[in-house]
Structure 1
Amino acid sequence: MPQPQQLAKAEFVELIGGSNGQPASEGKTVPVQFNPQSLKLNFSNQWSGGDQPQGSSPQFVGTSTTKLSMELWFDVTLPIPDAMPDPGGDVRRMTQQVAYFMTVQNPNDPNQQARVPPKVRFRWGSFVFNGTMESMDETVELFSNDGVPLRASVSVNLSKHDLAFEFNQQQRGGSTPGIAGTTPLSLAKAGDSLQQMAARAGISNWQGVARANGITNPRQLQPGALINLSVSVSS
């Protein structure tokens, strides 16, 4: 008799490091209690000019941000997944786990650039979004007779620079690979060269990236071109 298929659970994963073309490693993982009903993605571009009558056409400047928003529910009166810590009857102990990604984890680090909230990956099946948690709004919906919060809704907004689509490839049997299954595509801005884009991503082998993407003129990229910076072909 076939086994029932297990429901994929959404989760937030801390991203640690990742530079010089190397993928980030995964740290703290925070699963959700209930999967979101929907995910909202917002892509925005920057344009200049073109706002005057009979003026020049708008010029593409570059991307600003890609944003992901969702609403999550947490309720201690309902079954708690085994992967989640025991909230002890207070829903705030569950939402506090999500707030981890809003909190500076190294406030006393002498390096000012290290005193920032952690990068985060939202992963749900084949859907992957890597960025930072921009905002988190929590609304307590239900209290016990003693005034203990029991249920809360949490609105989360994640953002990242550049337009990038990432896919977590599902393997047979429902297992999910880690970072190696992620395919990021970066958007070329006006005036960008491939060498500049690779440098921003911490990649030195821009020639190999050009060969892998079939780019014949890496000095003059077409604005808006989607480029996979995670692949390269050696000479």
Structure 2
Amino acid sequence: MQENLNELVKAELTHLDSLETVTVDWNPNKYSVSKHRELVAAGAPGGTGASCEGQFSTRLFLDSTRRAPRERNLREIAQKLEGWMDPDSPGGPPPKIVFLWGPFRFTGYIERLDEEWVRFDPDGTPVRGFIRLQMRG
């Protein structure tokens, strides 16, 4: 059976502390992953060795035009993700979030979130748009 490449696929983001999950429609046209290794010199604070950090970015597609009116406000999804950017305690680290789509998994924290809304209900409620997501882990 041939896969329909134009069909929207569900991606999930899960907050690892609360286990809350956000499921979004994601058109998997691309995502980016990069790794960065930082070497720590001998005698420097933190000792010797290396730390490795990864970065992930993608563009999430959101569309609620076929949902019931009370489930159409996509800003609620964006606001939840924005809340996940904040540390759980003052001065603490941001919460760990898992992005999962098919076999791909990235665990880290949300570093940046940009919203673009392109379709609205008559009352101004955004019902279609994109969220550019950047994570670091």
What's 2:59 paired with?
71
What's 1:208 paired with?
none
Offset of 1:136 from its aligned partner?
Answer: 0.6
Letter in 2 for 1:10: A
Tell me the secondary structure at the aligned position of residue 10 of structure 1: strand
Summarize the Cα distance change of 1:99–1:36 in structure 2 as closer, same or farther, 3 Å threshold. farther
Structure with greater helix percent = 1
Tell me the secondary structure at the aligned position of residue 117 of structure 1: coil
CA RMSD of aligned residues (A): 3.3
What's 1:174 paired with?
none
What's 1:137 paired with?
114
Q: Is the 8 A contact 1:11 1:29 kept in 2?
A: yes
What's 1:15 paired with?
16
The structure whose RCO (Cα within 8 Å, separation 6+) is larger is 2
State how far apart, in whole Å, the 2-side matches of 1:120 and 1:151 are.
24
Could you give the per-residue CA deviations for residues 35-66 of structure 1, whole angstroms, max 9, x where no partner exists? 43222101123369xxxxxxxxxxxx734521
TM-score (normalised: structure 1): 0.44
TM-score (normalised: structure 2): 0.71
What's 2:46 paired with?
none
Could you give the per-residue CA deviations for residues 119-150 of structure 1, whole angstroms, max 9, x where no partner exists? 11111122111111111111122233333322
Tell me the secondary structure at the aligned position of residue 130 of structure 1: strand
Percent of aligned positions that are identical: 28
Q: Which runs of 4+ in 1 moved over 4 A?
A: none
Q: Is the 8 A contact 1:137 1:155 kept in 2?
A: yes
Unaligned runs of 5+ in 2: 1-7, 41-48
What's 1:151 paired with?
128
State how far apart, in whole Å, the 2-side matches of 1:144 and 1:8 are.
24
Letter in 2 for 1:102: M
Tell me the secondary structure at the aligned position of residue 29 of structure 2: coil
Could you give the per-residue CA deviations for residues 132-173 of structure 1, whole angstroms, max 9, x where no partner exists? 11111111222333333222210001111xxxxxxxxxxxxx
Letter in 1 for 2:54: T
What's 2:86 paired with?
103
What's 1:232 paired with?
none
State how far apart, in whole Å, the 2-side matches of 1:73 and 1:120 are.
19
Tell me the secondary structure at the aligned position of residue 33 of structure 1: strand
Q: Is the 8 A contact 1:10 1:122 kept in 2?
A: yes
Q: Which one has a bigger Cα radius of gyration?
A: 1
Unaligned runs of 5+ in 1: 1-6, 17-25, 49-60, 81-85, 161-235
